[in-house]
Amino acid sequence: MAHLRLLIVLSATLLLLLGCAPQPVPPQASPAAVQAPPPSPDVGDVSHFLNCSAEPRRALSSRERCEIAAFKARCTVLDDCYVTCLSSPAGVFTGGGCGHVCAPGLHLGAPHPAAIGACESMPGESGLDPRLGPNNSFKPNPLRGSA
Give CA angle at 96 (56, 143), nearest 5°: 140
Q: How many residues does the chain have?
A: 147
Domain count, the chain: 1
Which residue range forms the structural domain that includes residue 80? 62-119
Query: Would you say residue 110 lies in a domain?
Result: yes
Question: What's the pLDDT tens digit per position in 68-115?
Answer: 999 999 999 899 999 999 999 998 888 778 888 887 766 666 788 889
Distance CA 85, CA 96 (A): 12
Query: Would you say residue 20 lies in a domain?
Result: no
Query: Would you say residue 16 lies in a domain?
Result: no
Query: Would you say residue 93 lies in a domain?
Result: yes
Question: What's the pLDDT tens digit per position in 40-57?
Answer: 788 888 888 899 999 999
Q: At what angle do helices 62-74 and 77-87 cross, to 10 degrees?
A: 150
